[in-house]
Structure 1
Amino acid sequence: MYCLQFLIPVLLLPKPLNPPMLQTHAVIMVLYLAGFFLERKPCTICSIVFLAAAILLCYSGIGNCIFWNNNCDSASCETDL
């Protein structure tokens, strides 16, 4: 489980409040994770634990998903600008 020390901080990074920066944040997270999985090749157990934590976080309804914003639909985001 040594490889989880590089994956857990990804779940704890705060998302930006500025809606246009959400896409940049998601791209950076995807590129970091792709690079990590290609370079370090974590064990299967670490990969499953991380993916399960990411899925639970994204579908828990609290809006803290690292890949998209659950609380912002297109109409409400455009009116906030």
Structure 2
Amino acid sequence: MYCLQCLLPVLLLPKPTEHNSFFIHRLFIILYLISFFLERKPCTICALVFVTAVFLLCQSGGYSCIFWKNCETS
């Protein structure tokens, strides 16, 4: 799990409340993840653990997902 030490804080970033800054936040997260996976090349198990954590976080509550904004809360 050593290769995930830079990815775990991504799950803890607070989401912005404004629509314009949410787009920039989502773009930053996606570019950070792409560059991390291209540069560090984490092992398959760590990548699966991270993807599973993101999937479970997004499925447990719409507002807690880091990739989209829940329309019901705005």
* Larger of the two Rg values belongs to structure: 1
Q: How does 1:59-78 map to 2 (within 5 A)?
A: 59-70=59-70, 72=71, 77=74
Please, what TM-score do these two structures have when normalized by structure 1?
Answer: 0.84
Opposite residue 15 of structure 2, the aligned amino acid is K
The runs of 5 or more residues in structure 1 that have no matched partner are none
Greater helix percent: which structure?
Answer: 2
Opposite residue 3 of structure 1, the aligned amino acid is C
Please, what TM-score do these two structures have when normalized by structure 2?
Answer: 0.91
Q: Percent identity?
A: 58
User: What is the SS of the residue equivalent to 1:67?
Assistant: coil
Q: How does 1:48-59 map to 2 (within 5 A)?
A: 48-59=48-59
| Number of residue equivalences | 74
User: What is the SS of the residue equivalent to 1:6?
Assistant: coil
8 Å Cα contact 2:62/2:69 also seen in 1: no
8 Å Cα contact 2:3/2:43 also seen in 1: yes
Opposite residue 32 of structure 2, the aligned amino acid is Y
Tell me, in whole angstroms, the C-alpha distance in 1 between the residues paired with 2:27 and 2:15: 12
The runs of 5 or more residues in structure 2 that have no matched partner are none
Q: Quote how far apart the aligned CAs of 1:4 are.
A: 1.1
How big is each residue's C-alpha offset from its partner over 1:26-64, in whole Å with a ceiling of 9 and x where there is no partner? 000000000000000000011000000000011112511
How big is each residue's C-alpha offset from its partner over 1:11-33, in whole Å with a ceiling of 9 and x where there is no partner? 00001111211111000000000
User: What is the SS of the residue equivalent to 1:14?
Assistant: coil
